Chain A
Amino acid sequence: MSDAELLVNEFLIHGKKQGLDEKLLHDVIQHLLKNQFLPAGEREHVRIQLQKLIKNHLNGD
């Protein structure tokens, strides 16, 4: 059940239902998977990068 591929696919399906772009969804889930074991107190840079990632997508970069 702990299947990253399945998890990504599920996320893409539900994200698309929200009208979000597949590339954005893919980038977001990869970023989260990459940093999934960082504890809550050390995730400030994860959030900054995530916001930058979303902004870049919205700006069409």
Chain B
Amino acid sequence: MRLTHLVISNLGPYRERQTIDLQTDISATGYAFFAENGRGKTTIYNAMRWCLFGEVRDRAKTVAGKKIEGSIRPMVGDGKILMNATAYEKDDPQEMAVILFAEGKRGKIMISRTAKSSKKFARSDDEMTVTLNVQIGEEKILSGSEAQEAIESFFPRELERFFFIDGEALEEYTEMMQESSLEGLQDEVNAVLGIPALLRGTEDLTKMSQSVKSKINKTSKAVKSSTKARDEVIIQKRKLQAAMSSVNDKEKQLQTVVKKLDETMEQMNSHQELAPLIEKVKSLDTMIKLKQVNLKEAANDKVNESRVAWKVLLWKRASALHEKHSKEHELAIEKERTIRATEEDIIRIANGLQEVTGICDKCHQPLPDIEAYKNKLQTELDNRKVILSQLKSSTVHSPKDLIIKLGDFEKLKPQQDASERITKSEKKWKRLSNDLENLREERNNLNSKVSEEAKLNVAELAESKGRQEALISRRVQELRVLREQARVEELELKRLERLSGIVSEDKEGYELNTTIGKLIVAIKDTISSYREKARIEVEKISSDVFVKLINAPDVYSGIKVDKDFKTQIRTSSGGLLRNPSTGQVSMMTISVIDALRKVSGINAPVFLDTPGRSLDETHKKELLKYFWMNEGHQFLIFAHSGEFGLEETVKEFKGKLAKAWTITHPGDHDTCFVATCKSKDVTHDPYGKKYTCNACKNEWDKRSKNSMILEVEL
């Protein structure tokens, strides 16, 4: 695959679209970019990686033999980003793109990867939408994962480090090839072998095997369960038979009792004519008992009521005397009242008599007959005194004495209805007594009609009937429990019979698993033999390259590559070089990288950033001499002026260098940099910021940091 054009837009220091045309008429393989630091050499290198793989990883580090992957550089955001700073800060939408054009066995190839902000002023990669399109030959344009898959088919990601070689990271490669490395180049070697089919196939088959084994185990467990279940079925059948037998026994017992009950009922029917009489006697017995209780209560009432009967009898005689004393009491009170009134009259008349003056109180005239008036009053006074004397001399008891007597009488007085209650209780007792007597008589009459034997018989039958009915109820309950137990046993038997139905092992699963196992072994053996062939080839090619690069065939015979692809320099005497110099190790590393790339069979351009970083002058020149040939894959270097001088390199590698470019900032130029002009007639403004070519009118800003890629005329 030959790269024909590379278009970069808004990446790193490249503002707007920059196109690098790699087409040339000559068959030389050398391409060189020359620039001072910070001009964007590595950006072109990274632009290719981003276009192909969608990410740019910082350099990996190897710590104690363990490789630690570098972090992915973000497209936008804080810190070091892929997008051009001005585009990131000012454009809306923010957009960056790399388009790669190439020619390969399948025709022209176009790979386009674009990242565009999905919102205004995106500040993280999550806010960017990346679009990938790939077209190979005349085939339809692929996009998304299909497009990525197409890229990987001709440029596996695992081989990235063999085509994008970072001169500054040669130590990392070297470390991986050292004896101390734990991981070595396992992934890379597998990728070089082009065996993702086998590697992924091993993973697929291993997963399938796990799944099949899981199923086999399940079946195996089921079979074991089945065998166990068959034994259990026999036991369960016995259990069920026992349960059914219990049910049958219980049913027989129930039937026996039911039969007995029927017999009892028949016997009871034979005594049907006596039954009402017996029932009547029973009823009378109950009634008699009730009456006896009532009679007892009535007798108690009668006794209680009779306790005041003497009062009733006594009062019949004492009531007249009580009445007499009551009247006397009333008279005595009246007499006392009359005495008090008479005494008051006597005092009033006596006072009137003493106070007579012979003058009228009203008209104050002398009375005509004063003596007659005085005599009248005296007579009246005398009469009152006679009456008083008569009243006081009469023999009537005092009211006080009479009150005491009446109190004594009251103690003998019964309650008002005492007599009625005594009569009533007496009557009630007599009535109940009569009733009881009647009932007894009636019962005796009935008893005389039914024999004692018949009564006994009927009573026994009734008792038997009750007992049998209770027994039947119990038997029915027991039967229900036994039937439920039998049903449970039957269900368990059915379950066990189902389990015992699985009788065969998963033969198909075993066969499948065996075949998968054999396929895994076959793949592993293939990888192993394939790796060994690759190792031999890598050892041969890397030795050839190393001898050419080191240019000392008398001292070094090549490179030893062991089974883990760890490498050491062989001396011409057949031994291994101890303590090689940094330059020697770097050349060995480059040799092995080149060998691995060749063995991979992938014909693609090689990008070498800062190629002379670890090499001395001699080795640097040998390096370019080896890689820049007249035919083969393109070899692009991105060199700092300290590594390779522009004019010197162009001159020394004339014919091998197909194209060369310088990468500069506008401020690097005091003369016109347009290829067709190059005029030195330039004016600048008073502040020295803006330059204008007087010949072609090209203008540039000295302060601009937007890099320019200018092709060098060879």
Contact = CB atoms under 8 A, between A and B. Distances in A.
B310 interface: no
Contact of B518 (A7, A19, A32): A19
A15 B522 contact: yes
Interface in B204-253: 204-205, 207-208, 212
A24 B522 CA distance: 12
Interface string B395-411: 00000000000000000
B515 A54 contact: yes
Nearest to B197: A36
B631 interface: no
B516 interface: yes
B194 interface: yes
A32 to B, nearest CB: 4
Nearest to A36: B197
A61 interface: no
B531 to A, nearest CB: 10
Interface string B190-208: 0011111110110111011
Chain A residues touching B, majority SS? helix
A47 B207 contact: yes
Interface residues of A, number: 36
A4 B530 CA distance: 11
Contacts of B529: 10, 14
Interface string A1-18: 111101100110111011
A7 B526 CA distance: 8
B537 to A, nearest CB: 6
Nearest to A46: B204
Contact of A18 (B203, B512, B518): B518
B194 A7 contact: yes
B525 A54 contact: no
B480 to A, nearest CB: 55
Given A1-B192, A2-B600, A7-B526, A40 B519 contact: no
Nearest to A30: B197
A39 B230 CA distance: 48
A54 B515 CA distance: 8
B475 to A, nearest CB: 62
A50 B516 CA distance: 10
Nearest to B207: A47
B211 to A, nearest CB: 8
A15 B523 CA distance: 8
Nearest to B195: A7
- Central interface residue in A7, A29, A36, A47, by most chain B CB within 10 Å: A36
B198 A54 contact: no
Interface string B173-193: 000000000000000000011
Interface string B298-337: 0000000000000000000000000000000000000000
B522 A17 contact: yes
A26 interface: no
Contacts of A38: 149, 200
A50 B208 contact: yes
Contacts of B512: 51, 54-55, 58
B602 interface: yes
Taking each of A4, A13, A15, which has the highest tally of chain B beta carbons within 10 Å of its own beta carbon? A15
Interface string A21-41: 000110011001101111010
A24 B149 CA distance: 27
B79 interface: no
A31 to B, nearest CB: 8
B526 A2 contact: no
Interface residues of B, number: 40
A37 B153 contact: yes
A4 B195 CA distance: 9
B511 A37 contact: no
A13 B516 CA distance: 16
Task: Point out which of A14, A40, A51, A55 has the most chain B C-beta atoms below 10 A from its C-beta.
Answer: A14
Contacts of B153: 37
B685 interface: no
Contact of B601 (A2, A18, A32): A2
A1 B208 contact: no
B35 interface: no
A28 B601 contact: no
Contact of B522 (A6, A25, A54): A25
Centre residue among B197, B207, B508, B529 by max chain A CB count within 10 A: B197
Nearest to A34: B197
Contacts of A19: 518
B518 A1 contact: no
Nearest to A55: B512
A40 to B, nearest CB: 7
Contacts of B204: 32, 43, 46-47, 50
B3 interface: no
Contacts of A20: 515, 518-519, 522
Contacts of A10: 526, 529-530
Contacts of A25: 519, 522
Nearest to A1: B599
B534 interface: yes
Nearest to B522: A15
Contacts of A18: 518-519, 521-522
Given A1-B599, A17-B522, A29-B197, A37 B533 contact: no
B336 to A, nearest CB: 136
Nearest to A47: B204
Closest 10 CB pairs of A and B: A2-B194, A36-B197, A2-B601, A14-B525, A15-B522, A18-B518, A32-B201, A1-B599, A32-B197, A14-B522
Interface of A: 1-4, 6-7, 10-11, 13-15, 17-20, 24-25, 28-29, 32-33, 35-38, 40, 42-43, 46-47, 50-51, 54-55, 57-58
Interface of B: 145, 149, 152-153, 192-198, 200-201, 203-205, 207-208, 212, 508, 511-512, 515-516, 518-519, 521-523, 525-526, 529-530, 533-534, 537, 599-602
Given A14-B526, A17-B525, A50-B208, 19 more contacts: A1-B193, A1-B533, A1-B534, A2-B194, A2-B601, A6-B530, A7-B530, A10-B529, A18-B518, A20-B522, A28-B201, A38-B149, A40-B200, A43-B200, A43-B203, A51-B212, A54-B515, A54-B516, A55-B508
13 contacts: A14-B525, A29-B197, A35-B200, A37-B152, A37-B153, A42-B145, A43-B203, A46-B204, A47-B204, A50-B204, A50-B205, A58-B508, A58-B511
